[in-house]
Amino acid sequence: MSSQTYSISDLARELDITTRAIRFYEEQGLLSPERRGQERIYSPRDKVSLKLILRGKRIGFSLAECRELIELYDPTSGNQKQLHSMLAKITERREQLEQQLLDIEQMKLELDTAEERCVQALEQTIKSQQAV
């Protein structure tokens, strides 16, 4: 693994996130930079973890799920366990999204029905008032 290190501002700039977000992930135990006095020194592993967190968030993973994936990070084994776990989580997330889409479509149908009934009731009310 590379011996390159990163400051918090390097990572924030490179990954287009705030230093506050990076500190939050550190507080959550997802990153573990070295310290030189008050300065945080991030390793390539921390950078990979941060990229994984950001990717996980974009596709709807919880921080707990991101933590599981980070804990499985093992470049010496080609990250096979991590990749298998990631595939399983992707499948699960896709199934959740498919269910949400079905739920949304059902809700739209229910809204259409409610709207139609309201319009009909309003038309009947207007007609009965005009008849008087």
| Cα angle for residues 19, 22, 23 (degrees, 5° grid) | 90
69's torsion region: left (phi>0), alpha (psi -120 to 50) or beta? Answer: alpha
Residues 14 and 56 in one domain: yes
User: Considering the chain, what is the average pLDDT of its residues?
Assistant: 93
Cα–Cα distance measured from residue 21 to residue 51, given in angstroms and rounded to the nearest whole number: 12
Q: pTM of the entire structure? A: 0.73
Contact 63, 30 (CB under 8 A): yes
- What are the tens digits of pLDDT across the range 56-66? 999 999 999 99
Q: Looking at the structure, do residues 51 and 81 belong to the same domain, yes or no?
A: no
Instruction: Read off the DSSP letter of residue 77.
Output: G
Q: What is residue 1's predicted lDDT score, i.e. its pLDDT?
A: 46
How many domains does the structure of the chain reveal? Answer: 2
Residue 66 domain-assigned (yes or no): no
Q: What is the pLDDT of residues 71-118, one digit of tens each?
A: 998 888 888 999 999 999 999 999 999 999 999 999 999 999 999 999
Is residue 127 a part of any domain in this protein? Answer: yes
**Predicted confidence (pLDDT) at residue 2 exceeds the cutoff of 70:** no
- Does some domain include residue 67? no
Contact 25, 53 (CB under 8 A): yes
Both 7 and 53 in one domain: the answer is yes
* Residue 68 covered by a domain: no
Residues 55 and 85 occupy one common structural domain: no
Measured at the CA of 112, the angle between CA 109 and CA 118, to 5 degrees, comes to 145
Which CATH number covers residue 29? 1.10.1660.10
Question: Is residue 57 domain-shared with residue 80, that is, in the same domain?
Answer: no
